Amino acid sequence: MPRYGKIVVIRRNGSDGIVFPLTSTSCLFGRKTECDIRMRLPWVSNEHCRIDINENKEAILTNLSAANPTKLNGLCLEQPLALRHGDVLTIIDRSFRW
């Protein structure tokens, strides 16, 4: 099984939490039961953001929420961007490290 990277939950105290290995070319974050990383917060969109692995094996983060945009390293994500090792994506008040 290929492994494209990992997504680490950042706990509120700043320490590492659960690790999600990315073994598929797509990872969907949101409230829907079909999401790969499900977040049960009312402010999170059904499909909030997605990480896709492109043909060059780059991880591309795309915001899917108009109401509460995904942040990348503290800045609102306005267009799909390639993730770099150590980047932090934030959905509402939950953060994850690539």
Residues paired with residue 81 on neighbouring β-strands, in sequence order: 61
What does pTM read for this prediction? 0.93
CATH of the domain at 86: 2.60.200.20
47, 32 Cβ separation under 8 angstroms: yes
Model confidence at 8: pLDDT above 90: yes
* Cα angle 38-42-47, degrees, rounded to a multiple of 5: 45
**Tally of structural domains, the chain:** 1
Given this model, what pLDDT does residue 2 score? 79
Q: What is the DSSP letter of 63?
A: E
Model confidence at 15: pLDDT above 80: yes
Report pLDDT digits (tens) over 33-81: 999 999 999 999 999 999 999 999 999 999 999 899 999 999 999 999 9
Model confidence at 84: pLDDT above 80: yes
Give the pairing type, strands 37-38 and 75-76.
Answer: unpaired
Full domain range(s) for residue 32: 5-97
Model confidence at 1: pLDDT above 80: no
